[in-house]
Structure 1
Amino acid sequence: MLLLAMDTATPAVTVALYGEGRVLASWEQIDARRHGELLMPAVDRVLSTAGRKISEVTGLVVGNGPGPYTGLRVGLVTAAALGAARSVPVHGLCTLDGIAHAAVAAGLTGPFVVATDARRKEVYWARYDATGTRVDGPAVDRAGELPAEVTVLPAVGAGAVLYADAFADVRRELPQHASAGALAALAAQRLAAGEEPAPPRPLYLRRPDAQVPAGYKVVTP
């Protein structure tokens, strides 16, 4: 099994190649405005670093979000296109699950919450048990209006750091953005256990800012 993973649901453009039970190569850059520009060169760089070809990849893993519409769709469309071109499966995973997996791998114990920046003074969040299994969410809420049972838990992610006053225990030393390596490792773990990952469908959680105009003005007879 050789998995090519990517995520563009957070400001991180992140790509990793996973095989032989480990991350073979990875690359990431924090740049919320250049997902489309950075992603495919990152794929080429990761494959080159690992000394592998795209024809060797047996599956793709992509973060489903939640995340902003523009950034999130870059990863999903790219993964779908590569999967179709190579006739390999594309596995979708909740981006927050990947951050949770990375946090547990970094030593976090006990129940916790992952929160990423959703803009508009809101966060995307999900609650996890000690093993990193999601027990609530994903959801989107204003940081100051989160449920009490969420805000009292140790909090991981850029949303928690940005709105630190809303959380009782922010773990700034733990991963703040998505990691393709963590996503790939989580996907491999679930596949080995016989679980079927979710399809690569976006978790937007709220309506887009762009709306179809109503009440067009007639300018022709």
Structure 2
Amino acid sequence: MLLLAMDTATPAVTVALHDGEAVVASSSQVDARRHGELLLPAVDRVLSEAGLKLDAVTGIVVGVGPGPYTGLRVGLVTAAAFSSALGVPVHGLCTLDGLAYASGIDEPFAVATDARRKEVYWARYADSRTRVGDAAVDRPADIAGSLAGLPVVGAGARLYPEAFPDARDPEHQSAAALAGLAAERLAAGGDGFLDPLPMYLRRPDAQVPKNYKVVTPK
């Protein structure tokens, strides 16, 4: 087994290789505006570090969000392209599940990432491997009461300390953690994966203008 994992649903452009037992190589850069520029060089970097070629990969793991429209699509489109070129499956995972897994917390907690517009993408967890319910997007003040007393992992907790006073690491997503979670689920029978489709939770920031300017020929 050699899994190539990637996630661009958050400001972290993160890639990792996992051989089913451990992470072979990984790369993460935090840059909210350069997902398209950074992802493929990161893939080349981890393959080079591992001394492997792309055709050695037996499966793709990709974070499906939730996340902003443009960044999220970069990872999903790249994963689909690799899957098609290599003839290997794509395993989708909720991005928040990767952060939860990386936390290693074995008690109830939540994960929150920056959704912009003064909102967070979030989900509640029973432990680092078990999400309780679906991911959602809300204003921090609107969910602070329901998460009171719980640790909150992720950049969302750092951005809104008044709503989430018990912020925990990691702050950013890691493809290494995402790959480790995928390897565990594959070893257990392959359940728990999502279709590799974008989880937006709301409409994109860019909107089609409602009124077009009429242009007539001279």
| TM-score w.r.t. length of structure 1 | 0.94
Aligned to 1:77: 77
Query: How many angstroms does 1:219 deviate by?
Result: 2.6
Q: CA deviation at 1:131?
A: 4.3
**Among 199, 203, 209, which residue is 1:207 paired with?**
203
Unaligned 5+ segments in structure 1 are none
> How many angstroms does 1:150 deviate by?
1.9
Q: Distance in 2 between matches of 1:205 and 1:99?
A: 18
Say if 1:141 and 1:61 are closer, same or farther in 2 by CA, change over 3 A: same
Task: Note the C-alpha offset of 1:52.
Answer: 1.0
* Cα 1:4/1:54, change in 2 over 3 Å: same
2:84 corresponds to 1:87: no
Confirm or deny that 1:195 pairs with 2:190.
yes
1:55-66 correspondence runs (5 A):
55-66=55-66
Runs of 4+ in 1 over 6 A off after TM superposition: none
Q: How many residues align?
A: 216
Which residue in 2 is equivalent to 1:49?
49
Q: What is the alpha-carbon distance in structure 1 between the residues aligned to residue 27 and residue 186 of structure 2?
A: 23
Normalising by structure 2, what TM-score?
Answer: 0.95
Give the distance between the partners of 1:98 and 1:19, measured in 2 at CA: 17
Hey, what does 2:216 align to over in structure 1? 220
The 3 A distance-change label for structure 1 pair 151 and 118 is farther
CA distance in 2, matches of 1:83, 1:43: 14
Higher mean displacement: 124-133 or 109-118: 124-133
Report 1:35-46 matches (<5 A). Answer: 35-46=35-46
SS at match of 1:166: coil
What letter is aligned with 2:215?
A: V
Conserved? CA contact 2:20–2:183, under 8 Å: no
> What code does the residue aligned with 1:169 have?
D
- Give the aligned residue type for 1:207: R
- Of 144, 151, 155, 1:154 maps to 151
Residue of structure 2 in register with 1:167 after alignment = 164
Q: How much identity, in percent, do the aligned residues show?
A: 69
TM-fit CA distance, 1:209: 1.7
Q: Matches of 1:64 and 1:20 in 2, distance apart?
A: 21
Q: Does 1:118 align with 2:115?
A: yes
Distance 1:152 1:89, change over 3 A: same
The equivalent residue for 1:186 is 181
Query: Over aligned residues, Cα RMSD in angstroms?
Result: 1.3
| CA distance in 1 between partners of 2:153 and 2:186 (Å) | 26
Question: Residue deviations 1:77-128, cap 9 Å, x none?
Answer: 0111011111110111000000000001xxx231000000111110000000
User: Could you tell me whether the CA contact under 8 Å between 2:107 and 2:126 is conserved in 1?
Assistant: yes
> Given the superposition, is the C-alpha separation of residues 151 and 203 from structure 1 closer, same or farther in structure 2, using an over 3 Å criterion?
farther
Q: Which residue of 1 aligns with 2:68?
A: 68
Tell me how far apart the structure 2 counterparts of residues 70 and 94 of structure 1 sit (CA, whole Å).
Answer: 17
Q: 1:55 to 1:120 in 2, by over 3 A?
A: same
